[in-house]
A and B are shown apart, each in its own frame.
Chain A
Amino acid sequence: MQKRRWRRRFVDESVLKLAALQDIDLMIRDRKKEEDLGFSTQGLATLEEAREKLASEIDARMLRLYERLSARFDRAVVPVIAHRCLGCSISVPTSKRVTGEERKSPLITCESCGRILFFI
């Protein structure tokens, strides 16, 4: 199969870590539903340890923002698809649609809902 080539969007390392952290938080939150389907979730302590390790690698200010948003919304980090914030469906202004390494600030948040934007 021929490898597809695409232009990889630049996404700050901190946003990638917050995205990974959210994925883990979702797993922990949804574990009861998965148990009902017959999946094992006995490694919760191991996963929580991994979660804390990842959280320790994230800038404290960004982590606080993530946790504040997580307390308010189901998803603190949301993708931007078709120029829309998938948290609130508001169109993301052109000035925020960065495609290269010209971005100055590591975190970009939605002007409407405040969620952290993840440019896919």
Chain B
Amino acid sequence: MAVTVETLLSYFDESRFIPVLRSTTKAGALREIIDALSEDSEIRHPDILREALESREKLGSTGIGKEVAIPHGRTVSVPRLKVLVARSKKGIPWGAADQKPVKLLFVVVAPPLEKTNEYLPLLGMLVAAMQEKQHRDRVLKAKTFADAKAALEEALRG
């Protein structure tokens, strides 16, 4: 089932937006991300979530190059698909193939059982949307969440 741009955008919420990550290390950034996701009352086992994201990084860096990373995982600790956006001013070494520090992160977590089957298509859409430098720059330079979301919409629509 195809995921529409509107569906993908519906997962972006200001409560899951970190305008500037404080940490400059991968481990520290993941901790900040887990802390932010744990604010969601639906996520009651952040340790399991942390294990899932850290395990995924063991399988291979989720850095896709061009200063973008998409940490992701399926985990029973999340009742529904959630997306978090985070940015780093200085960049964080993420082990991406092009060795560039990551400045823009989209964290995607989903339950193992997912009737809507949006998880993988959503990952694919984000990978495609972030290939263009102008789109990445607009999301990175957005001053507000609304601007960032608008920039992302433009990126998704191509």
Identify the A interface with B (CB < 8 A).
Answer: 1, 3-4, 6, 8-9, 11, 16, 19-20, 22-24, 26-28, 30-31, 33-34, 37-44, 46-47, 50, 74-75, 77-79, 81, 86-87, 118, 120
Which residues in B have their C-beta under 8 angstroms from that of A26? 74, 112
- A63-B54 Cα distance, complex, nearest whole Å: 22
Of the A-B pairs whose beta carbons lie under 8 Å apart in the complex, a sample of 12, sorted by A's number, is A4-B40, A22-B76, A23-B51, A23-B52, A23-B112, A27-B59, A31-B59, A37-B124, A39-B60, A39-B64, A46-B59, A47-B55
Given the known interface contacts A26-B74, A38-B64, A78-B113, the answer about A20 and B59 at a Cβ–Cβ threshold of 8 Å is: no
What size tier do the contact residues of chain B reach? Answer: 20 to 34
**Are A47's CB and B48's CB within 8 A?**
no
CB distance from B72 to the nearest CB of A (A): 8
Assuming A11-B45, A47-B55, A79-B79, what are 16 further A-B pairs, CB within 8 angstroms? A6-B44, A19-B77, A20-B48, A23-B48, A23-B51, A31-B59, A34-B120, A34-B123, A39-B64, A40-B61, A43-B58, A46-B59, A75-B113, A78-B112, A78-B113, A87-B113
Q: Is the CB of A4 within 8 A of B41?
A: yes
Residues B120 and A33 in contact, CB atoms below 8 Å apart: yes
List A contacts of B124 (CB < 8 A): 37
Contacts of A47 in B (CB 8 A): 55, 58-59
Determine whether the beta carbon of A6 is less than 8 Å from that of B59. Answer: no
Tell me the bound Cα distance from A111 to B99 in angstroms: 51
Interface contact tally, CB-CB below 8 A? 101
Q: From residue 37 to 96 of chain B, which have CB atoms closer than 8 A to chain A?
A: 39-42, 44-45, 47-48, 51-52, 55-56, 58-62, 64, 70, 73-77, 79
Interface residue? B15 (CB, 8 A): yes
Decide: A23 near B64, CB < 8 A? Known: A77-B76, A78-B76, A86-B113. Answer: no
Q: How far is the CB of A99 from chain B (nearest CB, A)?
A: 12
CB distance from A14 to the nearest CB of B (A): 13
Q: Is the CB of B112 within 8 A of A46?
A: no
Q: A4-B41, A22-B112, A38-B64 are in contact. Are A16 and B74 (CB under 8 A)?
A: no
Chain A residues whose C-beta falls within 8 Å of the C-beta of B113 in the assembled complex:
75, 78-79, 86-87
A36 to B129, CA, bound (A): 16
B127 within 8 A of A: yes
Q: Say whether B44 contacts A1, CB under 8 Å.
A: no
